[in-house]
Amino acid sequence: MLSSEVIQNALKAVKYPGYSRDVVSFGLVKEISTTDGVVGVAMQLTSPNAEAALQIKTEAERVIAALPGVKQVIVEVRQPAGGATAPTSPFANQNKVSGVKRIIAVASGKGGVGKSTCSANLACALAQLGAKVGLLDCDIYGPSIPLMMGVHEKPTVNADERLVPPSNHGVKVMSIGLLLTDDQPVIWRGPMITKTIQQFLLAVEWGDLDFLLVDLPPGTGDAQLSLCQTVPLDGGVIISTPQEASLGVVRKGIAMFRKVNVPILGIVENMSYFTTPNGERVEIFGHGGGKEEAARQDVPFLGEIPIFTEIREGGDRGTPITVSAPNHPAGKAFLQIAEAVRKNF
């Protein structure tokens, strides 16, 4: 049975960074509460070391979540700041991007679900709705946004030595692909990825934007964490296909956003179905999985995108279907999703 004593005993496994003693023996645990499987813990540190606070918080969440009967864990780590005691976030060093009203991450748990295609079309659809839009390609190892957006010129540098992103279809675009020669591979470790993403966010002259969409690589690695640490995100859009192999990893992406307090704007089901020339509907990857997962996760379902050859052709040409054929069923589907995203703000 869950009790304060059980939780406190579990916390004895959490060592203070650099010491062999645990947080309980140091007297850092100040409050423990448990109600219907929801466990709350408040700790008070004497050091302003944010890295130590993050390590303690992460480890405390892990050991408590492993206890039988725990449904949710809320750990608050307080630290001294300016002589006062205040809650400290692991992401306290975030910076606002000058001129950008909202930053939205477009993510997927796994590759091959059409995330970049959706990012490009969503950006163009928001621009068609009258918004000022930027699109940042954070897929450092496999940048595809320049091709899909038809942008090939390198960014310029202004008098303040800031990169000025090129634009097309009413969308400003930045990508590592614009700074490399053709077929040049990126062979970098994590710290270089982090530094590049920070520069793309804070050293680029984005100007006044209503939305900056960030096309993330698959997974929950360096790029995702760097983004969350660098700037405050206003929401995340999750792209999935209907099949369970995709949805299973989507859950990890949702959990990641929730862990860093990023609102989930909704799930998009891409490659939802295919219509043959004689009108037969073929559900190649199954159907309805995205909507069902949205209901399970209690997040909005933003819509479904059918499989159309025209979507692929538009991406290969550098003219997304929302631009080349806005009245096509696929163009209308992307526009409806853009409207659903805009209604969140």
CA distance 300 to 236: 11
Q: Does residue 96 form part of some domain?
A: no
Q: Does residue 42 form part of some domain?
A: yes
Q: Does 187 lie in the same domain as 332?
A: yes
Q: Does residue 83 form part of some domain?
A: yes
Question: So what's the pLDDT on residue 221?
Answer: 72
- C-alpha of 117 from chain center: 16
Question: So what's the pLDDT on residue 88?
Answer: 38
Whether the model clears a pTM of 0.95, i.e. scores above it, the answer is no
Give the count of domains, the chain. 2
The domain that holds 18 is classified in CATH as 3.30.300.130
Q: Does residue 92 form part of some domain?
A: no
Identify the residue whose tokens are 């796994």.
Answer: 110
Q: Does 306 lie in the same domain as 250?
A: yes
CA distance 320 to 328: 12
Question: So what's the pLDDT on residue 147?
Answer: 95
Report in angstroms the alpha-carbon separations of 111 from 116, 186, 239, 245: 10, 18, 10, 11
Q: Does residue 203 form part of some domain?
A: yes
Question: So what's the pLDDT on residue 122?
Answer: 98
Domain limits for position 220 = 103-342
Q: Does 263 lie in the same domain as 129?
A: yes
Q: Does 76 lie in the same domain as 116?
A: no
Question: So what's the pLDDT on residue 86?
Answer: 35
For 46-89, the pLDDT digits (tens) are: 777 888 889 999 999 999 999 999 999 999 998 876 433 333 34
- Of 35, 61, 87, which residue constitutes the final position of a domain? 87
Q: Which of 104, 142, 49, 125 lies closest to 239 in space, CA to CA?
A: 104
Q: Does 215 lie in the same domain as 67?
A: no
Q: Does 108 lie in the same domain as 80?
A: no
Question: So what's the pLDDT on residue 94?
Answer: 65
Question: So what's the pLDDT on residue 134?
Answer: 98
Question: So what's the pLDDT on residue 82?
Answer: 44
Contacts of 276 (CB under 8 A, 6+ apart): 282
Q: Does 313 lie in the same domain as 265?
A: yes
Q: Does 200 lie in the same domain as 67?
A: no
Residue spans of the chain under pLDDT 50: 82-90, 92
